[in-house]
Amino acid sequence: MLSLADIKGLYESRFDNPPILVRACGRINIIGEHTDYNEGFVLPAAVDKYIFFALAENGTSEFHFYAANIKDSFNFHLRDMAPGEKVWANHLMGVLQQFQKDGVALEGIDCVFGGNLPIGSGMSSSAALECGFALGVSNLFNLDYSRKDLALLAQRASHEFVGVPCGIMDQFASLMGRDGQAIRLDCRSLNHEYIPLDLEDCELVLVNSRVSHDLGASEYPRRVAECKAGVAILQQHYPAISSLRDVTLDMLKLHRAELEDSVYRRCIYVVKENARLQEACRCLWNGGLERLGTLLLATHEGLRDEYEVSCPEIDYLVEFASEYPGVLGARMMGGGFGGCTLNLIRKEAKEKFLKDISKAYFQQFGLQSEYYFVRPVDGTDVVRGG
Ligand code: GLA
């Protein structure tokens, strides 16, 4: 866990030019999982878990990075930029490559980063890394990018350099978050509205399973492909559809026999998840928190049984939570195969719940879980006067 002051100090002990400082946000997603790359809806928020950056131009064509949490460094020359074994460095080079593709004349940068955003926990540390760096570079070189453009640039970096066909949710949430609000984002048009995250006597708590199964790397692109395969078959009957966003349950049921069983289940999950999200937004507007909890549990069941991106550790945490007095709902969050669960819980039940779930999880798996309280905050930004 490193603070902004730590990162600034580490930068100053390594480099000379005065840096700008950036704080990049992780995100939660209340509901709407695996809907973004299907042009559906998501409901994320930027939260107060950060990667901090200190960075400055160095007047050469060399780039020097230091990843402070893992005490790892990476240096390269612009002309040698190519994806390598260090995934974190690929995210950063990917961002630089996108600026180059946009015609930006880059110069060398010295950069130290690190913070308190848990890595590989479903809170999107990769997007925070890309977005914080992209915003930093755009400030250093006085580039004229909107936040939306930076989110799209960061997403392209993931697609083209890192090789992850992710949706837009994480980058958008990291850059567009607002204090106290969730973002209802239409991933087709990128139209969005802010919804106050007023949870009355309840709170959202994250429980980190501390597992991150490798499967995610291969299964995520497979899910993207399965959804596309479903759309391709349905398009033969409904030429106007271009993604699962346009598909209804009736269409799916009518053509079930033409779809492979796994493809059918992926598609049905996505269509139902978009509907759950709309209802969840109404719950937030109208104070229907009990119902919101039920929707979270339904999402988890869908992710577990239809989309098949959960894992035994996460299922255990969700099941334990769902039976616990004072917990309104819980589900896995993010891409899947590990990371955090999101728990909607009455404040008064929180303390005992966290003690009990951590004990039960340890007994079951021999693993020490972690928990985080998170608050929706303004998105990734330059820190003035840090
Ligand atoms: C990852 C991706 C997102 C989104 C989620 C699942 O976090 O980066 O684009 O698809 O998984 O909702």
230 falls within a domain: yes
Q: What is the pLDDT of residues 156-211, one digit of tens each?
A: 999 999 999 999 999 999 999 999 999 999 999 999 999 999 999 999 999 999 99
Q: How many CA atoms lie within 13 A of 317 on its CB side?
A: 35
Select from 36, 91, 228, 303 the residue to mutate for testing ligand 1; criterion: most ligand atoms less than 8 Å from CB: 36
Average pLDDT over residues 203-230: 93
Residue owning the nearest CA to atom 8 of ligand 1: 166
Residues 112 and 213 in one domain: no
Q: Is the pLDDT score of 373 beyond 70?
A: yes
Taking the C-alpha atoms of residue 168 and residue 166, their distance in angstroms, rounded to an integer, is: 7
Q: What is the CATH number of the domain that holds 50?
A: 3.30.230.10
Query: Does position 215 have pLDDT exceeding 80, yes or no?
Result: no
Mutate to test the pocket of ligand 1, among 170, 226, 243, 309 (most ligand atoms within 8 A of CB): 170
> Which atom number of ligand 1 is nearest to the Cα of residue 124?
7
Residues above pLDDT 70, as percent of the chain: 100
The verdict on 249 and 164 lying in the same domain is: no
Indicate whether 72 belongs to any domain.
yes
Structural domain ending residue among the three candidates 157, 179, 196: 196
Helix H, strand E, coil C: the string for the chain is CCCHHHHHHHHHHHCCCCCEEEEEEEEEECCCCCCHHHCCEECEEEEEEEEEEEEEECCCCEEEEEECCCCEEEEEEHHHCCCCCCHHHHHHHHHHHHHHHCCCCCCCEEEEEEECCCCCCCCCHHHHHHHHHHHHHHHHCCCCCCHHHHHHHHHHHHHHHHCCCCCCHHHHHHHHCCCCEEEEEECCCCCEEEEECCCCCEEEEEEEEEEECCHHHHHHHHHHHHHHHHHHHHHCCCCCCCCHHHCCHHHHHHCHHHCCHHHHHHHHHHHHHHHHHHHHHHHHHHCCHHHHHHHHHHHHHHHHHHCCCCCHHHHHHHHHHHCCCCEEEEEECCCCCEEEEEEEEEHHHHHHHHHHHHHHHHHHHCCCCEEEECCECCCCEEECCC
Same-domain status, 171 and 286: no
Residue 384 placed within a domain: no
Q: Which of 48, 110, 170, 381 is catalytic?
A: 170
Question: Which residue range is the domain that position 159 belongs to?
Answer: 4-196
Domain CATH code at residue 291: 3.30.70.890
Asked whether 336 lines ligand 1 (CB < 6 A), one says no
Q: Which residue has the tokens 């064509």?
A: 61
Tell whether ligand 1 has an atom less than 6 A from the beta carbon of residue 33: yes
**37 Cβ closer than 6 Å to some ligand 1 atom:** yes
Residue 381 lies in a domain: no
- Of 178, 196, 214, which closes a domain? 196
Is 154 part of any domain?
yes
pLDDT value at residue 163: 94
Asked whether 268 lines ligand 1 (CB < 6 A), one says: no
* Residues 170 and 212 grouped into a single domain: no
- Residue 72: the pLDDT is 98
Q: What is the pLDDT of residues 294-307, one digit of tens each?
A: 999 999 999 999 99
Mean predicted confidence (pLDDT) in 96-103:
97
Dist. CA 128–CA 99, nearest whole Å: 17
Residues 172 and 305 placed together within one structural domain of the fold: no
The finding on whether 110 has its CB within 6 A of some atom of ligand 1 is no
Confidence of residue 251 (pLDDT cuts 50, 70, 90): very high
Beta 62-67 vs 109-115: how paired, if at all? parallel
- How many domains, in total, are found in the chain? 2
> What are the pLDDT digits (tens) for 17-73?
999 999 999 999 999 999 999 999 999 999 999 999 999 999 999 999 999 999 999
- Residue 385: the pLDDT is 74
Q: Tell me the mean pLDDT in the region 76-100.
A: 95
Q: Is the dihedral of CA 191, 180, 169, 256 positive or negative?
A: negative
Per-residue 3-state assignment (H helix, E strand, C coil) for 262-304: HHHHHHHHHHHHHHHHHHHHHHHHHCCHHHHHHHHHHHHHHHH
Tell which phi-psi region holds residue 176, choosing left (phi > 0), alpha (psi between -120 and 50) or beta.
Answer: alpha
Residue-wise pLDDT for 121-149, tens only, equals 889 999 999 999 999 999 999 999 999 99
* Cα 110 to averaged position of ligand 1 atoms, centre (Å): 30
8 A C-beta contact, residue 136 and residue 111 = yes
Residues 173 and 208 in one domain: no
Average pLDDT over the chain reads 97
The reply to whether ligand 1 has any atom less than 6 angstroms from the CB of 145 is: no
CA distance 309 to 273: 14
Q: Are residues 278 and 137 in the same domain?
A: no
pLDDT in the model for residue 186 = 98
Look at residue 378 and tell me if it is in a domain: no
On whether both 266 and 340 belong to a single domain, the answer is yes
Mean per-residue pLDDT, 259-278: 98
Could you tell me if 144 and 243 lie in one domain? no
pLDDT of res. 38:
98
Tell me the CA–centroid distance for residue 77 and ligand 1, in Å.
31
What pLDDT, on the 0 to 100 scale, is given for residue 217? 83
Domain boundary among 196, 213, 228: 196
Is 382 within the bounds of a domain?
A: no
Same domain, 131 and 11: yes
| pLDDT band at residue 120 under the 50/70/90 scheme | confident
Q: 130 in ligand 1 pocket by Cβ < 6 Å?
A: no
In the residue annotation, 170 being an active-site residue is answered as yes
How far, in Å, is the centroid of ligand 1 from the Cα of 120? Answer: 12
CA 61 / ligand 1 centre spacing (Å): 34
Question: 67 and 43 in one domain?
Answer: yes
Q: How far is the CA of 70 from the centre of ligand 1 (A)?
A: 24
Using the atom order of ligand 1, give the atom closest to the CA of residue 169.
9
Same domain for 368 and 244 = yes
111 within some domain? yes
Q: If you measure from the C-alpha of residue 336 to the centroid of ligand 1, how many angstroms do you get, rounded to a whole number?
A: 9
CA atoms within 13 A on the CB side of 185: 33
Banded pLDDT at 213 (limits 50, 70, 90): confident
Say what the pLDDT of residue 386 is: 61
Phi, psi of 52 (to 5 degrees): -95, 145
